[in-house]
Amino acid sequence: MTTAVEADTRTLIAVRGLKKHFPIKEGALQRVTGHVQAVDEVSFDIEKGQTLGLVGESGCGKTTLGRLVAGLSEPTAGGVYFDLGPQEKIELDRLMASDAERAEFDDEHRVDLLKGDAWRRFRRNTQMVFQDSFASLNPRQLVKDIVGRPLRVHREASGTALVERVVELLEQVGLGRQHLYRYPHQFSGGQRQRISIARALALDPGLVVLDEPSSALDVSVQAQILNLLHDLQADRGLTYLFITHDLSVVRHMADQIVVMYLGRVSERAPTDDLFAAPRHPYTEALLRASPDLDADGDEDGFQGLEGSVPDPARPPQGCRFHTRCVYATRVCGWEIDDVVLRLEETPGLFDRLEDVERRSPFDAELRFESEQAARTLVSTFQNEAPEPMRDALEDMTVEGRTVAIRFNPVPEVELTSRGTDHEAACVLEDFGSN
Ligand SMILES: Nc1ncnc2c1ncn2[C@@H]1O[C@H](COP(=O)(O)OP(=O)(O)OP(=O)(O)O)[C@@H](O)[C@H]1O
Ligand code: SF4
Ligand SMILES: [Mg+2]
**CATH number of the domain encompassing residue 396:** 3.30.1360
CATH of the domain at 85: 3.40.50.300
Rounded CA-CA distance 414/411 in Å is: 9
Reported confidence tier of residue 150, pLDDT bands at 50, 70, 90: very high
Q: Could you tell me if residue 302 is inside a domain?
A: no
- Asked if residue 210 and residue 91 are part of one domain, the reply reads yes
> 423 lies in a domain?
no
**8 A C-beta contact, residue 2 and residue 255:** yes
Cα(281) to centroid(ligand 2), Å = 7
Ligand 2 in contact with 309 (CB < 6 A)? no
Please provide the DSSP assignment of 271-306 as one string: HHHHHHS--SHHHHHHHHHSGGG-TT--GGG-----
Q: Give the CA angle between residues 124, 126, 127 to the nearest 5°.
A: 95
pTM: 0.92
Cα of 376 from ligand 2 centre, angstroms: 29
Cα torsion through 53, 58, 60, 65, rounded to 10? 50
Cβ–ligand 1 contact at 38 (below 6 Å): yes
Mean per-residue pLDDT, 161-172: 96
Q: Ligand 2 atom 3: the closest Cα is on which residue?
A: 328
What total number of domains does the chain contain? 2
Q: Is the CB of 383 under 6 A from ligand 1?
A: no
The last residue of one of the domains, among 261, 280, 303, is 261
54 inside domain: yes
Does some domain include residue 24? yes
Note whether 92 and 219 are same-domain residues: yes
The answer to whether residue 427 sits within a structural domain is no
pLDDT in tens, 222-232: 899 999 999 99
pLDDT at 131 over 90: no
In degrees, rounded to 5, the angle at the alpha carbon of residue 347 between the alpha carbons of residues 344 and 348 is 135
pLDDT at 293: 47
Question: Would you say residue 288 lies in a domain?
Answer: no
- Pair (244, 348) in one structural domain: no
Cβ atoms of 266 and 282 within 8 Å: the answer is yes
User: How would you list the strands of the sheet with 11-26, edge to edge?
Assistant: 31-47, 11-26, 77-84
Residue with CA at minimum distance from ligand 2 atom 2: 426
Same domain assignment for residues 110 and 237? yes
Backbone angles phi, psi at 322, to 5 degrees: -65, -25
Note whether 269 and 423 are within 8 A (CB): yes
Confidence of residue 276 (pLDDT cuts 50, 70, 90): very high
Residue 25 lies inside a defined structural domain of this protein: yes
Is the Cβ–Cβ distance between 53 and 253 less than 8 Å?
yes
Residues 144 and 26 in one domain: yes
- How many angstroms is it from 134 CA to the middle of ligand 1? 18
Percent of the chain whose pLDDT exceeds 90: 79
Question: Which of 190-194, 305-309, 389-393 is the least confident region?
Answer: 305-309
- Identify the domain boundary among 219, 244, 261: 261
Percent of the chain at pLDDT > 70 equals 94
Q: Is 58 in the pocket of ligand 1 (CB under 6 A)?
A: yes
Together in a domain, 100 and 215: yes
User: Which positions ≥6 away from 404 have C-beta within 8 Å?
Assistant: 364, 365, 395, 396, 397
Residue 166 has pLDDT above 90, yes or no: yes
My answer on whether 105 and 251 are in the same domain is yes
The answer on 340 and 250 residing in a single domain is no
Asked if 369 and 352 touch (Cβ cutoff 8 Å), the reply is yes
Q: Say if residue 92 is in the same domain as residue 218.
A: yes
Helix, strand, or coil here: 310?
coil
Ligand 2 pocket, residue 195 CB under 6 Å: no
Same domain, 235 and 345: no
Question: Domain boundary residue among 261, 295, 313?
Answer: 261
Note whether residue 283 is domain-resident: no
* 83 shares its domain with 188: yes
Residue 433 pLDDT: 56
Residue 296: its pLDDT value, please? 45
Domain that holds residue 389: 336-407
